[in-house]
């Protein structure tokens, strides 16, 4: 197979996390009884008119901001006209001429190389209703009709499935972090379509485009795009051509399959929506929204690493937003962040998974966590002992030191008790003592081992070492 | 100038509008739509100084609605006016493929 | 005993003094409608419910001037639990599950809905002949058209069935039938009255308005239906006002413009003469009346065709036989549901207009026609605004002729557009327009004057209209006072 240059653009629909729909005040919900979340506006009843949900504009401003888009200050809506049973008015209210966001980008890293994925535009529109096919019938549930969406369209600027995957992961992380959307692909609150074409040389015009629709997971985005590149390459290698077409990814086949060949472009008859006057986005609106944007994942990772968290830990924490938010509350403390990250991702994460809890559901306040870290750092508590008291640490409210005391696993830090043990070890191992004194440094390790063994692991290793050195002088 | 639109043009708009037209109606529409379009065509000749567009005579910008839920219909009301329904669903003959 | 020939103020006093009851008015209205049955003004009567409501009102305080008054509603305004057909087979059996905002308002005044009036199908027409339920007849001459699209509302008022009706006006549909039937009809400023519940024809122009026997009662009904509505983003945030407040004030020094185009050859001589007579009357009263040049007025019909039909093709897409309304029998597939439902459910005029609208918005046409039309529209509005810098009101004839024969121009797809040439501009510019009768032609058919006001200046229009009404003191009851 020859080498071709792929060109990939991605369109993503994201459902916004609002309480109500975009153009009516019925509830925006998922998984409820069919046709129980609608009103006459969602159903496109004669005489009804749209209103516009404030929160939709706010979330769109937020998304535009985190995607580094310019924000349009004067915008209107447009009607996209097409007949389809899931489209109650047989026109969709969308933004064609004045998308709220434009000229944005997100930065991704693929195989260690950073790249800006350019965003052409981002607009607001309404979702359609849900159709279920049953034999010779299609059943319509209008609960989803009018759920607010933003559609984010990249420039045709990506060159591999991996880049598209990285872009989608980044997009999901950003929009999820700032509460724009749940971004659940499996529930349809995030949906991705990819446009793929290939060409021989940079200087050639773009090749024929295939659109891959409704890809079910981010992993499949990469697979389906790469498969499509492969398919197109083989066709070109054989001197064949193909028509612009829409394909879908078949998970079982592990390949894309043809849905339909595109006829001469769709005739959507766009025109400005007369029922919704201009919307003006003011500085004040933007400022108020920007205030609500939390620290974004990239910044979090950078700060964590600066604070001494290993990179792999930093990435893992950021993947779990509630852990990361919790971790952020520690950032002002003077504590050991490496230990903190190990604890959170280790025993604590295991506990949370098992109990199906969030860190904020536990009794581990910031103060108690800092105390716990301190006890680990000065070896008052070993990892082994922590396991024994973890439930108490996470479920009770008494201080960590009280829990340690009450459970009788306190490390022996009392000098006289350790000194006794050490004296006994020195007496019992004259050979090793002799070795040490004649310059065999390795002997000290053996002696320390004996000390720890005699104290059954409860001696504070640092203190024990100091005393051992003293006694050997 | 032709006194009628082509059959293809009429069939295309009938397709866009989802209106079936019989063979006998076709010719009538070819002529009548053309009569109206000849009138509409005059818009091309009008000269304006300004490219600004008036979508509608809105007296104020959009006042945004608070994101608070209101009353909804129950599923029985939703299907109440629907010609075909099944359970709580509105029903249509099976739809294959995608929007055209 | 007949009461409904009395003025609304007299009726109000009688109701307040318990000399009559609402049921008396309601029964008389239904009797009148029965008597005038052949005029075909109504599609649906609300008899049972109206009588029930009238009886319930007997125990309530008469708290406003419209209390207990019978009213007719154009059948494109949705009424909960009362058939709303838009004069179309498509909605022949459609029972809405909510009330339009104007209906809530008139109900809150305890007005009584008598029935739903006949009209052009989906308000598309200027004669009411496109109604699926047959054409209403002009009470002045049953061989003549009523005008349209609010023909039924104009007919029932002209026939003195009852005192109040609501119409809707997208390109002249209140004013033009008011002119043909010799009544007062107001299309308010765009945004003055909520459109929520008005079945949309062309959203950027549709407006609901009052139709009555006289100017004062027209203002009374407008008082009741205006106001900001949070369900309609295009409704204007205007304080309530009393539109009767300038009625009776003299018109000395009022500055009035007559665009020359409105008095050009497109208008019949009889109509023109009557308007000139009225202009002289105004001059004699001390008003300043100037003939002015205005650009773009001659483009109004073309503009209307592009914008109204483009919007209509989209607004009427929702009638697809899936969620409500008519649906073709035994469809084999989804294509049948759409194509057959819309073929069988819509009448010829509606289908023609929808197809033209689809054509206008199709592909590159959207730019060539629609965008251009929006620019011409902006220029036309600017032109009106230029005139209002120097003038209070603009006047001219409402229609180029009086009502013509039911049989005339039945197959002419352009006639219905041309009938509205003088009334379209106000819709384009969003301005209020009013018809007031100013006389009759040689066949004793009414002639109307059109008054176009500046934005939200309805009170001043009523001032001028009531002056004309008082001075002319015409007998506007078909067949003479009974």
The pLDDT tens digits of the residues spanning B34-92 come to: 999 999 999 999 999 888 999 999 999 999 999 999 999 999 999 999 999 999 999 99
Mean pLDDT, range C358-373, rounded to an integer: 95
Question: What's the CA gap between A311 and A302, in Å, rounded?
Answer: 9
- Could you report how far apart the first and last alpha carbons of chain C are, in Å? 13
Q: Give me the pLDDT at residue C481, please.
A: 53
What angle in degrees, to the nearest 10, is found between the helix axes of C47-57 and C22-35?
A: 160
- Positive or negative, the CA dihedral C80, C43, C427, C307 is positive
Q: Which of B62, B63, B86 to mutate to test the interface with A (most CBs of A within 10 A)?
A: B62
Residue A457's alpha-carbon distances to A384, A387, A400, A452, in angstroms, are: 10, 15, 20, 5
How far are the Cα atoms of A349, A353, C261 from residue A340, in angstroms, in the given order?
Answer: 12, 18, 84
Lowest mean pLDDT among A206-215, A401-410, C116-125, C312-321: A401-410
How open is the CA angle C181-C185-C186, to the nearest 5 degrees? 160
**Mean pLDDT of all residues in A149-163:** 96
Helix, strand or coil, per DSSP, at residue A431 = helix
Calculate helix-pair angle for A311-319, A321-330, nearest 10 degrees: 120
What mean pLDDT is predicted for residues C178-188?
A: 98
What are the strands of the beta sheet with A271-272, ordered from one edge? A91-94, A78-81, A271-272
Residues in C touching B75 (Cβ below 8 Å): none
CA atoms within 13 A on the CB side of A442: 0
**Nearest-CB residue to A51 (from C86, C96, C233):** C233
Of C199, C233, C370, the CB nearest to A276: C233
Contact C67, C14 (CB under 8 A): no
Of these residues, C146, C149, C150, C179, which one is catalytic?
C149
Q: Is residue C377 within 8 Å of C428, Cβ to Cβ?
A: yes
* Of the candidates C185, C260, C139, the residue with the CA atom closest to the CA atom of residue C449: C185
CB A330 within 8 A of CB A369: yes
CB within 8 Å: C338 and A83: yes
Q: pTM of the predicted model, to two decimals?
A: 0.92
User: pLDDT tens digits for C247-283?
Assistant: 999 999 999 999 999 999 999 999 999 999 999 999 9
Tokens of A94: 């969308």
Query: With bands split at pLDDT 50, 70 and 90, how would you rate the model's confidence at C1?
Result: low
- Yes or no: say if C248 and C216 are a contact pair by the CB < 8 Å rule: no
Q: Both tokens of residue B14? A: 């009938």
Spatial contact of A228 and A4, defined as CB atoms under 8 Å apart: no
Confidence band, pLDDT 50/70/90 cuts, at residue B99 = very low
Q: Do B42 and C413 touch (CB under 8 A)?
A: no
Q: What is the pLDDT of residues A310-343, one digit of tens each?
A: 999 999 999 999 999 999 999 999 999 999 999 9
Interface of A with B in 246-305 (CB under 8 A): 246, 259-260, 266-267, 269, 272, 274, 276-280
Burial class (CB in 10 A: 0-12, 13-18, 19+), C13: middle
Is the ipTM higher than 0.85? The answer is: yes
**Between chain A and chain C, how many beta carbons pairs sit less than 8 Å apart?**
94
Name the residue with higher pLDDT: C192 or A188. Answer: C192
Taking CA C226 as the corner, what is the angle to CA C423 and CA A52, rounded to the nearest 5 degrees? 95
Domains and CATH numbers, chain C: 1-482 (3.90.1300.10)
- DSSP states along C384-397: HHHHHHH-SEEEEE
Nearest-by-Cβ selection for B75 from A34, A40, A136: A34
Chains with 3+ CB–CB pairs under 8 A to A are B, C
Q: Please state, for a pLDDT cut of 90, what percent of chain C lies above it.
A: 97
For chain A, the structural domain boundaries read 5-285, 295-407, 415-472
Query: Would you call C317 and A81 a contact, using CB atoms and an 8 Å cutoff?
Result: yes
Straight-line distance from the first to the last Cα atom of chain A, in angstroms, rounded to the nearest whole number: 75
Task: Name A443's Cβ contacts closer than 8 Å, sequence gap at least 6.
Answer: A432, A433, A435, A436
List all chains that touch chain C, counting a touch as 3 or more CB pairs closer than 8 Å. A, B
- List the subunits that have 3+ CB pairs under 8 angstroms with B: A, C
Three-class SS of residue A154? Answer: strand
Rounded Cα distance, A328 and A148, in Å? 31
Q: How much is the mean pLDDT over chain C?
A: 97
Look at B17 and C313 and tell me if their CB atoms are within 8 Å: yes
Rounded Cα gap, residues C133 and B67, in angstroms = 43
Other Cβ atoms closer than 10 A to C468: 21
Confidence of residue B98 (pLDDT cuts 50, 70, 90): very low
Q: Contacts of residue B39 in chain C, CB cutoff 8 Å? A: 301-302, 305, 414, 417
In A278-371, DSSP assigns E strands to 279-280
Q: Which of C131, C150, C153, C173 is catalytic?
A: C173
CATH topology of domain A415-472: Arc Repressor Mutant, subunit A (1.10.10)
**What are the structural domain ranges in chain B?**
7-44
């Amino acid at each position: 197979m020859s080498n071709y240059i792929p060109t990939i653009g991605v369109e993503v629909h994201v459902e916004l996390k609002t309480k109500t729909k975009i153009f009516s005040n019925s509830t925006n919900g998922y998984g409820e009884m069919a046709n129980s979340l609608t009103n006459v506006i969602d159903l496109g009843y004669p005489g009804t008119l749209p209103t516009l949900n404030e929160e939709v504009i706010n979330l769109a401003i937020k998304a535009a901001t985190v995607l580094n888009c310019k924000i349009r200050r004067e915008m209107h809506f447009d009607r996209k006209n097409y007949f389809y049973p899931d489209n109650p008015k047989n026109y969709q209210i969308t933004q064609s001429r004045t998308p709220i966001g434009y000229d944005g980008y997100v930065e991704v890293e693929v195989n260690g190389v950073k790249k800006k994925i350019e965003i052409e535009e981002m607009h607001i529109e309404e979702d359609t209703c849900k159709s279920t096919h049953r034999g010779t019938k299609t059943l319509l549930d209008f609960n989803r009709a009018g759920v607010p969406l933003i559609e984010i369209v990249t420039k045709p600027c990506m060159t591999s499935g991996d880049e598209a995957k990285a872009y989608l992961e980044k997009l999901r992380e950003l929009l999820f972090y700032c509460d724009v959307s749940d971004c659940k692909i499996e529930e349809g609150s995030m949906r991705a379509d990819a446009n793929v074409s290939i060409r021989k040389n940079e200087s050639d015009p773009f090749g024929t485009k295939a659109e891959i629709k409704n890809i079910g997971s981010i992993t499949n985005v990469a697979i389906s795009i790469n498969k499509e590149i492969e398919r197109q390459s083989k066709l070109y290698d054989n001197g064949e051509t193909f028509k612009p077409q829409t394909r879908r990814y078949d998970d079982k086949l592990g390949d894309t399959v043809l849905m339909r060949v595109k006829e001469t472009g769709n005739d959507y008859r766009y025109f400005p929506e007369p029922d919704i006057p201009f919307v003006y986005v003011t500085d004040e609106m933007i400022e108020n929204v920007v205030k609500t944007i939390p620290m974004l994942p990239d910044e979090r990772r950078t700060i964590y690493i600066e604070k001494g968290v290993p990179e792999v830990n930093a990435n893992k924490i950021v993947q779990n937003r509630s852990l990361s938010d919790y971790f952020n509350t520690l950032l002002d403390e003077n504590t050991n962040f490496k230990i903190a990250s190990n604890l959170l991702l280790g025993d604590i994460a295991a506990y949370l998974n098992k109990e199906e809890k969030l860190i904020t559901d536990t009794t581990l306040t910031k103060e108690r966590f800092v105390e716990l870290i301190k006890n680990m750092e000065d070896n008052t508590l070993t990892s082994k002992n922590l396991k024994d008291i973890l439930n108490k640490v996470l479920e009770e409210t008494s201080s960590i030191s009280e829990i340690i005391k009450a459970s009788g696993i306190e490390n022996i830090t009392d000098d006289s008790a350790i000194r006794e043990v050490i004296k006994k070890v020195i007496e019992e191992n004259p050979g090793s003592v002799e070795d040490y004194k004649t310059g065999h440094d390795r002997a000290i390790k053996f002696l320390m081992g004996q000390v720890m063994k005699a104290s059954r692991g409860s001696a504070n290793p640092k203190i024990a070492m100091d005393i051992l050195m003293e006694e050997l002088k | 100038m032709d006194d009628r639109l082509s059959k293809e043009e009429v069939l295309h708009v009938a397709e866009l509008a989802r209106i079936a037209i019989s063979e006998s109606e076709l010719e009538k529409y070819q002529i009548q739509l053309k009569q109206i379009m000849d009138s509409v065509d005059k818009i091309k000749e009008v000269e304006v100084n300004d490219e600004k567009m008036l979508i509608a005579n809105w007296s104020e910008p959009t006042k945004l609605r608070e994101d608070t839920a209101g009353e909804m219909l129950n599923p029985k009301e939703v299907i109440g006016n629907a010609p075909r329904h099944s359970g709580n669903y509105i029903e249509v003959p099976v739809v294959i493929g995608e929007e055209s | 005993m007949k009461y409904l020939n009395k003025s609304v103020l007299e009726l109000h006093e009688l109701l307040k003094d318990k000399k009559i009851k609402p049921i008396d008015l309601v029964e008389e209205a239904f009797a009148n409608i029965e008597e005038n049955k052949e005029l075909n003004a109504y599609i649906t009567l609300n008899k049972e419910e109206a009588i029930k409501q009238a009886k319930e009102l007997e125990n309530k305080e008469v708290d406003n001037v419209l209390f207990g008054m019978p009213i007719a509603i154009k059948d494109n305004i949705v009424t909960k639990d009362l058939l709303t057909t838009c004069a179309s087979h498509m909605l022949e059996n459609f029972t809405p599950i909510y009330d339009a905002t104007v209906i809530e308002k008139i109900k809150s005044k305890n007005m009584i809905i008598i029935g739903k009036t006949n009209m052009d199908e989906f308000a598309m027409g200027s004669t009411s002949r496109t109604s699926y339920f047959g054409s209403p007849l002009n009470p002045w001459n049953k061989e003549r058209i009523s005008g349209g699209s609010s023909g039924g509302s104009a007919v029932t008022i002209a026939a003195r069935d009852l005192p109040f009706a609501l119409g809707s006006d997208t390109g002249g549909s209140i004013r033009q039938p008011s002119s043909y039937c010799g009544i007062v009809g107001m299309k308010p400023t765009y945004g003055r009255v909520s459109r929520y519940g008005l079945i949309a024809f062309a959203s950027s122009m549709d407006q609901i308005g009052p139709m009555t026997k006289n100017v004062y009662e027209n203002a009374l009904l407008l008082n009741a239906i205006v106001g900001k509505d949070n369900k309609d983003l295009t409704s204007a945030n205007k304080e309530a006002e009393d539109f009767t407040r300038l009625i009776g004030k003299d018109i000395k020094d009022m500055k009035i413009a007559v665009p020359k185009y409105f008095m050009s050859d497109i208008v019949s001589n009889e109509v023109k003469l009557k308007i000139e007579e009225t202009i002289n009357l105004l001059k004699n009263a001390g008003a300043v009346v100037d003939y002015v040049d205005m650009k773009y007025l001659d483009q109004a019909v073309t503009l209307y065709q592009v914008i109204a039909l483009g919007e209509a093709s989209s607004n009427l897409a929702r009638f697809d036989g899936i969620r409500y309304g008519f649906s073709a029998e035994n469809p084999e597939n989804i294509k049948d549901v759409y194509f057959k439902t819309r073929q069988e459910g819509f009448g010829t005029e509606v289908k023609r207009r929808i197809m033209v609208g689809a054509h206008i918005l199709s592909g590159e046409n959207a730019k060539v026609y629609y965008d251009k039309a929006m620019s011409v529209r902006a220029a036309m509005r600017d032109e009106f605004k230029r005139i209002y810098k120097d003038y209070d009101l603009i006047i001219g004839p409402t229609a180029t002729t009086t009502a013509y024969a039911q049989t005339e121009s039945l197959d002419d797809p352009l006639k219905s557009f041309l009938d509205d040439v003088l009334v379209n501009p106000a819709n384009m510019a969003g301005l209020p327009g009013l018809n007031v009768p100013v006389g009759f032609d040689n066949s004793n058919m009414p002639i109307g004057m059109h008054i176009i006001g500046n934005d939200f200046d309805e009170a001043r229009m009523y001032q001028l209209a009531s002056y004309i009404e008082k001075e002319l003191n015409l007998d506007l009851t078909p067949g003479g006072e009974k």
